[in-house]
């Protein structure tokens, strides 16, 4: 009985992990396409790892902290642009 329960819980945990990874994979692929960005560029800008996307596509698992950093990068991209000069500074 314990073995069946352990197996069931293991299968459910693996399924949840795969569903979470499928979500972040899809979000990354969508972000890359929407921003006309290369996979290596995304990995470099998001985590300083040019191989990140290639490895995720190959099945690399992201730790929750890494996933949070990737999501934070996507949320704050594109970088803020230079503020426009105010009319007061143009008169000087």
Q: What pLDDT does 3 receive?
A: 76
Question: Does residue 40 lie within any of the structural domains?
Answer: yes
> What is the per-residue pLDDT across 3-40, written as a single tens digit (0 to 9) for each?
765 666 565 555 555 555 578 999 999 999 999 999 99
Within a domain: residue 28? yes
Q: What integer is the mean pLDDT of 49-62?
A: 95
In a domain, 61, yes or no: yes
pLDDT score, position 90: 54
- How high is the pLDDT of residue 22? 74
Would 91 be classed as within a structural domain?
A: no
Supply the range of the domain harboring residue 51: 21-79
Give a yes or no: residue 15 inside a domain. Answer: no
CA atoms within 13 A on the CB side of 53: 19
* Residue bearing tokens 């969508």: 30
């Amino acid at each position: 009985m314990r073995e069946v329960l352990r197996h069931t819980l293991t299968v459910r945990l693996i399924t949840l992990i795969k569903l979470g990874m499928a979500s972040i994979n899809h979000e990354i692929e969508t972000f890359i396409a929407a921003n006309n960005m290369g996979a290596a560029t995304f990995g470099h800008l998001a985590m300083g790892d040019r191989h990140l996307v290639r490895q995720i596509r190959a099945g690399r698992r992201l730790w929750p902290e890494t996933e949070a950093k990737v999501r934070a990068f996507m949320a704050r991209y594109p970088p803020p642009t230079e503020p426009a000069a105010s009319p007061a500074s143009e008169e000087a």
